[in-house]
Copies of this chain bind each other. A is one copy, B any other.
Amino acid sequence: MPRIEIIGVEGIPEIVEGIDLGETILDAVRKTGLELRNGDVIVVSHIIVSKAEGRIVNLSEITPSEFAKKISTESGKDPRHIELVLRESKRIVRMRRGLIISETVNGLICANAGVDLSNVGKGKAAMLPLDPDNSARKIRERIRELAKVDVAVIISDTHGRPLRNGAVNIAIGCSGLEPLLDRRGEVDIYGRVLTSKIICVADELASAAELVIGQADEKIPVAIIRGYKYKPSETPAKIIPRREEDDLFL
């Protein structure tokens, strides 16, 4: 029977700017007695990537604009947080009660431009990595260099979404696996050719990893998914966000 394992990696130390994430992950895995294998998928919560890449700011260093102050007055939210969200956005999609849905500089449409006040410490905020596909690629290459294994790497984030309550984890960066598995042309069990089946396996892998990452009070920022036969590819996760004109749902 096909069997996939999702293993939470404990023992990742506090991440500081400039740390070698590939080496850090590898060390933590080895300390638990495991070895990474060819074909493993390593899902990394974006928060430690943001920390390693210096994408953390002290809110005390942020001077809110007049616009941010106005939104703050109306919503009761910290004006410096709103200012950061505006700085990380290239376009506001919707605004209501201080919640801002915007398109980030990376082309993601999400709440608060992905700016996070959790798991960074009091008075601080985390912004998304500047180029999460590149972050994934660097971790993957470093692991290949140090451990001589070829893994795929996904950078994940927890995102709210339209139509459905509750957030799920999605892939904001990807290296080594095809994020969108195109199954068109395959036949079903009755011989009918599939005409419209494209699966976002990168998002499904990110969601699967959250089942262990989310269970441990954020102390497990990395998961290994073992046994999933992905399609090797250099396609980035930035192809996942859909162009608005192609989006029938909106």
Copies in the complex: 2
Whether, in the assembled complex, A121 has its beta carbon less than 8 Å from a beta carbon of chain B, the answer is yes
A108 to B, closest residue via Cβ: B163
B1, B119, B216, B220: the one contacting A10 at CB < 8 Å is: B1
What B residues does A170 contact at CB under 8 A? 164
- Determine how close the nearest CB of chain B comes to the CB of A54; give it in whole angstroms: 18
B8, B164, B199, B211: the one contacting A167 at CB < 8 Å is: B199
Whether, in the assembled complex, A30 has its beta carbon less than 8 Å from a beta carbon of chain B, the answer is no
Whether, in the assembled complex, A9 has its beta carbon less than 8 Å from a beta carbon of chain B, the answer is yes
Give chain A interface residues in 173-201, CB to chain B under 8 Å. Answer: 179-181, 183, 186-192, 194, 197-201
Contact between B214 and A211, CB atoms less than 8 A apart? no
Complexed CA–CA distance, A214 and B240 (Å):
19
Contact (A215, B229) CB under 8 Å given A163-B247, A250-B163? yes
Contact (A200, B121) CB under 8 Å given A8-B3, A205-B211, A249-B161? no
Contact between B6 and A190, CB atoms less than 8 A apart? no
Contact (A240, B166) CB under 8 Å given A2-B212, A190-B120? yes
Size range of the interface on A?
35 or more
Contact between A241 and B117, CB atoms less than 8 A apart? no
Whether, in the assembled complex, A38 has its beta carbon less than 8 Å from a beta carbon of chain B, the answer is no
Whether, in the assembled complex, A158 has its beta carbon less than 8 Å from a beta carbon of chain B, the answer is yes
Whether, in the assembled complex, A32 has its beta carbon less than 8 Å from a beta carbon of chain B, the answer is yes
B164, B183, B194: the one contacting A242 at CB < 8 Å is: B164
Whether, in the assembled complex, A50 has its beta carbon less than 8 Å from a beta carbon of chain B, the answer is no
A94 to B, closest residue via Cβ: B248
Whether, in the assembled complex, A60 has its beta carbon less than 8 Å from a beta carbon of chain B, the answer is no
A103 to B, closest residue via Cβ: B163
What are 27 sample pairs from A and B whose C-beta atoms fall under 8 A apart?
A: A2-B10, A5-B5, A96-B248, A117-B192, A119-B190, A121-B190, A161-B161, A162-B247, A163-B242, A164-B170, A164-B200, A165-B239, A165-B241, A166-B198, A166-B199, A166-B240, A167-B199, A168-B200, A168-B204, A168-B207, A186-B217, A188-B218, A204-B210, A204-B211, A207-B207, A208-B208, A211-B228
